């Protein structure tokens, strides 16, 4: 179930609003930093949502930006208090992709292009365990167990009957044919994927090899949208060294166009289920590699 308050999302939205107010006053971040007697990088971190901001800092910034509407000030300060709260994932310690987890927890809809493996939210425990164990080097048994718990906890969003995440997935054929964890794990995973694709709030399309070159060849990405700002969005791009969160309207539009092309080139949802069924059959009585 989605958290009532999400510190990651609150920080990012508060930072965006503070940036808007600064630009509206025609101030540079260096000028604001000087007046607050803090470093310029701190202002940048606050505006980018990379760190929590105290209500006191918000109050001081409102003075600098000449915000006089008490209702606006109170709203910003409440967001600041919420930004300092802990998300459900924080007790698990330092996690890679924690920013994305925060965004995913609060998202109303999510579009994913998955070129190499079944997306995290649709993985079975066996498949997830194999992926974690085989893709993250030098992971201890305890760390692996923690990663698995977090991944399965994230899946609560698609099972929340009161407010399910609206999920669209375009998955490359290679992800269905890559044997992860062995034939039994793959058969179970594909049957699970087919079952979930029949849910009204989940759409799965397979992009077959026959589609040839397409806009997703550069790698996996996700587009997240939120209930209180459906016109906006965040694009999350996974990279080996560091992931990217893109929020500029032009970037979001660019990835929306790319995703639209992927959907057009992929099989229809009904054809995709039949395609998944056919591949799942290849794992029945499949020989186990020696």
From 4, 7, 6, 16, select the one nearest 233 (Cα to Cα). Answer: 16
More confident residue, 230 or 142: 142
Residue given tokens 């890559």 in the structure block: 178
197: pLDDT strictly greater than 80: yes
Among 50, 83, 116, the domain boundary falls at 83
- What is the model's pLDDT at position 77? 84
145 shares its domain with 250: yes
4: pLDDT strictly greater than 60: no
75 shares its domain with 129: no
pTM exceeds 0.75: yes
- What is the model's pLDDT at position 2? 40
Q: With bands split at pLDDT 50, 70 and 90, how would you rate the model's confidence at 165?
A: very high
134 shares its domain with 257: yes
User: For residue 2, is it within any domain?
Assistant: no
Q: Are 190 and 204 in contact (CB under 8 A)?
A: no
User: For residue 217, is it within any domain?
Assistant: yes
Query: DSSP strand E in 214-277: where?
Result: 221-226, 229-237, 244-246
Residue given tokens 């939205």 in the structure block: 13
For residue 39, the domain's CATH number is: 1.10.260.40
What average pLDDT does the chain have? Answer: 87
241 shares its domain with 101: yes
From 178, 171, 180, select the one nearest 124 (Cα to Cα). Answer: 180
51 shares its domain with 19: yes
From 53, 29, 28, 54, select the one nearest 43 (Cα to Cα). Answer: 29
Residue given tokens 């300092």 in the structure block: 84
- What is the model's pLDDT at position 7? 61
Q: What domain range includes position 54? A: 7-83
- What is the model's pLDDT at position 227? 81
230 shares its domain with 170: yes
The DSSP secondary-structure symbol of 3 reads -
Which class for 49: exposed (0-12), middle (13-18), buried (19 or more C-beta within 10 A)? buried
For residue 246, the domain's CATH number is: 3.30.870
117: pLDDT strictly greater than 60: yes
- The three-class DSSP label of residue 222 is strand
User: For residue 145, is it within any domain?
Assistant: yes
User: For residue 70, is it within any domain?
Assistant: yes
Other CB atoms within 10 Å distance of the CB of residue 173: 19
Buried b (16+ CB within 10 A) or exposed e, 53-86: bebebbebbbeebebeeeeebeebbebbebbeee
- What is the model's pLDDT at position 153? 92
CA-CA distances (angstroms) from residue 14 to 8, 76, 152, 234? 10, 7, 29, 15
60 shares its domain with 110: no
5: pLDDT strictly greater than 60: no
Among 48, 83, 118, the domain boundary falls at 83
240 shares its domain with 130: yes
52: pLDDT strictly greater than 80: no
User: For residue 1, is it within any domain?
Assistant: no
Counted domains in the chain: 2
164: pLDDT strictly greater than 90: no
Residue 190 to residue 276: CA distance in whole angstroms: 6
Other CB atoms within 10 Å distance of the CB of residue 227: 11
1: pLDDT strictly greater than 50: no
């Amino acid at each position: 179930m989605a958290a009532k308050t999400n510190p990651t999302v609150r920080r990012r939205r508060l930072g965006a609003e503070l940036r808007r107010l600064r630009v509206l006053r025609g101030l540079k971040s260096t000028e604001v930093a000087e007046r607050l007697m803090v470093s310029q990088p701190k202002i940048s971190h606050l505006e980018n949502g990379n760190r929590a901001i105290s209500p006191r800092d918000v109050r001081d910034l409102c003075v600098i930006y000449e915000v006089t509407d008490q209702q606006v000030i109170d709203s910003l300060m409440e967001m600041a208090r919420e930004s300092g709260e802990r998300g459900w994932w924080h007790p698990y310690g330092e996690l890679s992709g924690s920013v994305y987890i925060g965004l995913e927890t609060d998202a109303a809809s999510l579009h994913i292009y998955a070129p190499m493996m079944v997306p995290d939210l649709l993985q079975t425990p066996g498949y997830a365990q194999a992926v974690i164990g085989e893709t993250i080097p030098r992971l201890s048994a305890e760390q692996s167990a923690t990663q698995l718990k977090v991944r399965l906890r994230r899946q609560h969003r698609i099972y929340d009957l009161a407010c399910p995440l609206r999920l669209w997935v375009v998955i490359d054929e290679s992800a269905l044919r890559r044997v992860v964890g062995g034939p039994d794990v793959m058969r179970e995973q594909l049957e699970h994927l087919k079952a979930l694709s029949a849910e009204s709030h989940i759409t799965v399309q397979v992009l077959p090899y026959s589609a040839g070159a397409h806009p997703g060849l550069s790698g996996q990405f996700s587009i997240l949208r939120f209930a209180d700002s459906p016109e906006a969005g965040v694009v999350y791009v996974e990279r080996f060294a560091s992931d990217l969160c893109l929020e500029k309207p032009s970037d979001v539009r660019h990835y929306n166009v790319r995703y639209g092309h992927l959907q057009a080139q992929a099989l229809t949802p009904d054809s995709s289920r039949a395609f998944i069924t056919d591949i799942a059959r290849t794992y029945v009585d499949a020989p186990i590699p020696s």
